């Protein structure tokens, strides 16, 4: 389950950069969670789209990663 949304809609969230992103500013992914979903965005394109997945889908993804 995934839905695209704008970063403006998701701007009130607390975002966290992936520990795999490094410090060079390359491939950076940020996530933010609320009570219903996990939001994922590219930290280099903050005004860009945000992917929203259910907390259950995120949990399954992380377990397989």
Domain interval for residue 47:
3-64
Mean pLDDT of the 40-65 span: 88
Region 35-42: mean pLDDT is 92
**Helix or strand or coil: residue 9?**
coil
Over residues 17-43, mean pLDDT? 82
pLDDT at 19 over 80: no
The pLDDT of residue 1: 41
Q: How many domains does the chain have?
A: 1
CA distances (Å), origin 36, targets 22, 32, 55: 28, 11, 6
């Amino acid at each position: 389950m995934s839905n695209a949304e704008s970063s403006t809609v998701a701007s009130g969230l607390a975002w966290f950069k992936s520990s795999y992103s490094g410090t060079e500013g390359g491939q950076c992914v940020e996530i933010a969670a609320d009570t219903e979903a996990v939001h994922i965005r590219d930290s280099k394109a903050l005004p860009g789209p945000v992917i929203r997945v259910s907390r259950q889908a995120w949990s399954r993804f992380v377990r397989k990663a």
